Amino acid sequence: MDQDTRPLSDIVTSSCLETLSGLPKKGKPLQGKEWTVLAGVVEENMATGTFTAVSLGTGTKCIGPSKMRDDGKILNDSHAEVIARRAFRRYIYYHLEKVYMGKGSHIFSNPDPKTGTCRIRHDIQYHFYISHTPCGDASIIPVEDCTGMTADEKSEITRDIQRKRKLDSETESDMKKPKLDTDGTTAYTDILRTGGKPVTGEKQDPKQCSSNGDYHIPGLLRNKPGRGEATISMSCSDKLAKWNAVGYLGALLSLLIQEPLYMSSIVISRCPYSERCMRRALWDRISHVNLKEPYRIRKPRLLFSGLKFPYANVGNMKPCARAISWCKVPDDSLEVLVNGFKLGATKKQIESAAAQSKISRMSLFQCFMKVHGFSKKLSNRNTAMDSLSYRAYKSSAELYQAAWKELRRSAFTNWIVHHHKLDNFCLI
């Protein structure tokens, strides 16, 4: 096999774009009328020199607190990054099951017979792709810092900011209106904006259209933007920062895999982008946090690809209401989702498995319990926890929970923690 000489950023981006292109039309945005965001995880096999997209997610929506459920059946957050990560976890569970059943996996070594846990092979690593700069802090970019854009694309960015500025000037006081140069033109060092608002306890944005561009305060924890009811889902910038500290697999998988999994790189394709702002959002603001091994603040390579995502937001397009979840597993690899459930689910079906996504908390808990049973059988461990809730199992991941607690204590004090009743469900 000839070695691929393209930049890593283009290899990762192409893997995701080509995989998306090969999926059915259902669930994708209407070309030229709707836009979305794509995220994906690409697996690199260093032994073979191959790159394979193993999970994809599209989406820009999340539900408000009034629609959240305490049975684990609904997806609270359907932003692309979150869906891609959840689909990736489903892919990991599939390979864990293969290992425990003695079928082998190119990802994992054989389980440790004493602990029943697995280790990811040293020649496997992962890359996280996103078609657009993550919402929240990473999207707060001074215009002059935007890189990798054509002149026409930069002009569109400027026009978009001017439109937003005009809307702001209609509601702001004269004190907040922009200053003018001596020739009467506007003098701006403005910033690209995010719809995410600072969460309770953080400072509030001044939203001033001034020559200093002090509209947003960088570095704050923010919720995800939404119309109507305010969301209590953290921005993707905040979630990525968390994953760069405690890993991308979560509490339950930390009970089955010996070390946390971190991404080797994060790749963004052509869009408004600043490496400096990405660094600030994804690890600079948490770099002072000291975590106990095997956890520590990771700094994946930040890469930018000039390849264009075909469903990017251009002009006055509408966000696509549908989301796609896909992962490289043999059965039911693709789902189309709306409002946290499978597309087409009626109100009468909401309580049934037919409406439930394969990446919902309940579904992934079912995957965990199945694999956990194999693990316990191998190591002859106590079975007393079998009847415990999703929350109880997550709490039992002591090393993971200690790292997450320290991250919140030292840096993310105002992180929105959902009410514990949302995690108290058991298997159905």
User: Among 77-81, 112-116, 396-400, 412-416, which is the least confidently predicted range?
Assistant: 112-116
The proportion of the chain whose per-residue pLDDT surpasses 70, expressed as a percent, equals 87
Q: What integer pLDDT is reported at residue 172 of this predicted model?
A: 46
Nearest CA to 177 out of 194, 159, 165 is that of 165
User: Among 193-207, 265-279, 301-315, which is the least confidently predicted range?
Assistant: 193-207
Query: Could you give the number of structural domains in the chain?
Result: 1
Structure confidence at residue 315 as a pLDDT band (50, 70, 90): confident
Residue with tokens 């929970």: 401
Average pLDDT over residues 140-160: 76
- Give the phi and the psi of residue 183 in degrees, each rounded to 5: -90, 5
Q: Is residue 172 part of a domain?
A: no
Report DSSP letters for 198-238, one per residue.
BPTTSPPP-----TT-TTS-TT--BB---SSSPP-PBPHHH
* Residue 125 identity: Q
The C-alpha atoms of residue 195 and residue 293 are separated, in whole angstroms, by 36
Structure confidence at residue 385 as a pLDDT band (50, 70, 90): low
Q: What integer pLDDT is reported at residue 103 of this predicted model?
A: 93
The C-alpha atoms of residue 96 and residue 364 are separated, in whole angstroms, by 13
Q: What integer pLDDT is reported at residue 129 of this predicted model?
A: 98
Q: Is 288 exposed, middle or buried (0-12, 13-18, 19+ CB in 10 A)?
A: exposed
The C-alpha atoms of residue 261 and residue 298 are separated, in whole angstroms, by 10
Q: Is residue 195 part of a domain?
A: no
Cα dihedral angle (61, 65, 68, 72), rounded to 10 degrees? 90
**Partners of 325 in the β-ladder:** 57, 335
Q: Is residue 154 part of a domain?
A: no
Q: What integer pLDDT is reported at residue 187 of this predicted model?
A: 39
Q: Is residue 173 part of a domain?
A: no
Q: Is 177 exposed, middle or buried (0-12, 13-18, 19+ CB in 10 A)?
A: middle
On the question of pLDDT at 168 being above 60, the answer is: no
Q: What is the mean pLDDT of the chain?
A: 89
On the question of pLDDT at 289 being above 50, the answer is: yes
Residues spanned by the domain of 63? 8-138+230-423
On the question of pLDDT at 193 being above 50, the answer is: yes
Q: What integer pLDDT is reported at residue 180 of this predicted model?
A: 38
Contact 128, 300 (CB under 8 A): yes
81 is catalytic: yes
Residue with tokens 């579904």: 363
Q: Is residue 65 part of a domain?
A: yes
Nearest CA to 310 out of 6, 11, 16 is that of 16
Of 43, 44, 81, 335, the active-site residue reads: 81
Average pLDDT over residues 289-317: 94
Q: What integer pLDDT is reported at residue 225 of this predicted model?
A: 80
**Partners of 129 in the β-ladder:** 40, 267
Q: Which residue has the higher pLDDT, 308 or 193?
A: 308
Q: Is residue 35 part of a domain?
A: yes
User: Among 81-85, 90-94, 382-386, which is the least confidently predicted range?
Assistant: 382-386
pTM score above 0.75: yes
On the question of pLDDT at 96 being above 80, the answer is: yes
Q: Is residue 13 part of a domain?
A: yes
On the question of pLDDT at 301 being above 90, the answer is: yes
Q: Is residue 317 part of a domain?
A: yes
Q: What integer pLDDT is reported at residue 212 of this predicted model?
A: 53
